[in-house]
Amino acid sequence: MNAFLNETHHALRKKVRGFAEKYVKPVIGEFEAKEQFPMDLIRSLKSLNVFGMHAPERFGGQGSDYLSYIIAVEELARVDSSVAATLAAHNSLGVGPIMEFGTEEQKAKYLPSLCTAENLWAFGLTEENAGSDAQGVETVAKEQANGWLVNGHKKYITNGASDMSSGISFVAQTGIREDGRKEFTAFLVSKGAPGYTREFMKNKLLWRAADNGMVYFNDVHIPAEDQLGERGQGIKIMLKTIDSGRLSIAAMGLGLAQGAFEMAVSFAKKRKQFGKALANFQVISFKLADMAMKIENARNTLYNACWLKDNGHAFGTQAAMAKLYCSQVASDVTGEALQIFGGAGLFRNDEYPIERFFRDQRLLSIGEGTSEVLRMVISRSVLKE
Ligand SMILES: Cc1cc2nc3c(=O)[nH]c(=O)nc-3n(C[C@H](O)[C@H](O)[C@H](O)COP(=O)(O)OP(=O)(O)OC[C@H]3O[C@@H](n4cnc5c(N)ncnc54)[C@H](O)[C@@H]3O)c2cc1C
């Protein structure tokens, strides 16, 4: 039971959980071990109608609330983070900015194919010298006849390099403002544009079955109609997109913590030492109690932030808090769960993939605002009040 959830949310959770248990769980360990992006598996998520699900129906979406989408990410992350990350990046960072800042023509052109699970769309802010500091973006777009000429690169880009990746929204420097500060503008570019190339980044600690890549722009011509939002609004668009994206990273933390907790409970009931199941030692059962309490608090914090967004209230601070808190809970819970597994937690195990969960949680306090940056965001808001 949870006060934020209605029958639609419960039905969706059941549907996504059933899919993840039946189709993702048995195969994902192998893709992860081989560091392969499971394209057919991702396409099979089509049956769940979760791609672009919060987009309006007239553009091919389901018109669902944000909380529904967050529950879908949570349920996928309960089983695997690479698959959950693929959906989270696509919906929040891919579909999100086109839906929020695109023109009617851009929405009609791009959104329908992004709501089918056939194509993925990426988001590019990060570069060699632009991580936490978005002002460090060095990709340049120069105005030319009928559009822009772009040169530069983006790194670590989720859904950026596979054959399913049909394009990217990104930000580039477009000049210097009157006050001497740099001007940034956002753009859309599709696969196949001459000079737009991509390559997989290998050897990741985590999300090893997700598509993360380098993206290069070498004299890429972008037509004027593919500018996203107003000139000079690029950083604002990207940061607003990340506000919503943080809710999905929080959902990944919550779902991953839930999955790790369930594994720990099951193992603690089975594994016997000193003639008793581990769960019968108070030290272990208290660990489980603390894990359950943190997950409950994480869920309420996240769902409340979604409720604020769904009901038209400011939610940026609460999204930052939810992301910071859920990623900390994911770290605490996987750490304690792995401790309960003892040595068995340190090897790949497809029945109890706690070793993978322990690695996967590490992204959550780095991507879409590190925990340090989130504390800066929250403290600014607290000091303003
Ligand atoms: C798997 C993966 C997927 C990703 N997907 C995408 C994507 O799809 N699109 C995209 O654009 N980016 C993506 N990223 C990039 C991600 O958002 C960045 O890694 C993140 O924003 C941090 O930037 P950075 O790695 O450059 O670290 P830095 O910004 O270099 O930070 C390094 C350390 O310094 C700290 N630090 C920085 N500034 C300060 C400060 N002012 N005060 C105190 N501490 C500070 C940070 O908290 C951190 O601990 C992805 C990254 C990964 C690993």
Write the pLDDT tens digit of every residue in 8-54: 999 999 999 999 999 999 999 999 999 999 999 999 999 999 999 99
Residue in 187, 202, 324, 366 to alter for ligand 1 test, most ligand atoms within 8 A of Cβ: 366
CA dist., res. 281 & res. 274, Å (int): 10
Identify whether the C-beta of residue 122 lies closer than 8 Å to the C-beta of residue 158. Answer: yes
Whether residue 1 has pLDDT greater than 90: no
- Out of 32, 74, 127, 368, the active site residue is 368
- Closest by Cα among 145, 81, 151 to 358: 81
Measured torsion, CA atoms of residues 17, 20, 23, 24, in degrees rounded to the nearest 10: -170
Residues in the chain: 385
Q: Residue 330 and residue 119: Cα distance in Å, rounded?
A: 30
Average pLDDT over residues 261-277: 98
Distance CA 294, CA 288 (A): 10
CATH 1.20.140.10 in the chain is located at 236-384
Name the band, by pLDDT with cuts 50, 70 and 90, for residue 260: very high
> Is residue 56 very low, low, confident or very high in pLDDT (cuts 50, 70, 90)?
very high
Does residue 178 carry a catalytic annotation? Answer: no
- In whole angstroms, what is the distance from residue 62 CA to residue 52 CA? 7
* pTM greater than the 0.95 cutoff: yes
183/165 Cα distance (integer angstroms): 28
pLDDT of residue 385 exceeding 80, the answer is no
User: How many Å lie between the centroid of ligand 1 and the Cα of residue 154?
Assistant: 13
Average pLDDT of the chain is 97
Indicate if ligand 1 lies below 6 Å from the C-beta of 379.
Answer: no
pLDDT at 117: 87
Instruction: Map tokens 């989130």 to a residue.
Output: 374
Query: Taking 90 as the threshold, does the pLDDT of residue 384 lie above it?
Result: no
* Element containing residue 320 per DSSP (H, E): helix 316-341
**Alpha carbons 256 and 76: distance in angstroms, whole number:** 9
CA angle 60, 101, 55 (to 5 degrees): 20
The per-residue pLDDT for range 104-118, each reduced to its tens digit, is 999 999 999 999 989
pLDDT, mean of residues 114-136: 95
Residues 262-283 have a mean pLDDT of: 98
pLDDT in tens, 64-117: 999 999 999 999 999 999 999 999 999 999 999 999 999 999 999 999 999 998
Stretch 316-335: mean pLDDT, rounded? 97
Query: Are 81 and 29 within 8 A, CB to CB?
Result: no
**Which residue, among 195, 136, 208, has the nearest Cα to 171 in the 3D structure?**
136
Question: How many A from CA of 159 to the centre of ligand 1?
Answer: 17
* Cα–Cα distance for residue pair 103/120, rounded to 1 Å: 20
Q: Which CATH superfamily is domain 7-120 in?
A: Acyl-CoA dehydrogenase/oxidase, N-terminal domain (1.10.540.10)
CATH of segment(s) 236-384: 1.20.140.10
Q: In the chain, which residues fall in CATH 2.40.110.10?
A: 121-233
- Provide, rounded to the nearest whole percent, the portion of the chain with pLDDT above 90: 97
Helix, strand, coil % (nearest 5) of the chain? 55, 20, 25
Q: Is the CB of 171 inside a 6 Å radius of any atom of ligand 1?
A: no
CB 51 within 8 A of CB 116: yes
Tokens 């208290």, residue located: 286
Domain spanning 121-233, CATH class:
mainly beta
pLDDT band at 121 (very low <50, low <70, confident <90, very high): very high
Instruction: Evaluate: CB of 249 within 6 angstroms of ligand 1.
Output: no
The answer, yes or no, to whether any atom of ligand 1 lies below 6 A from the CB of 373, is yes
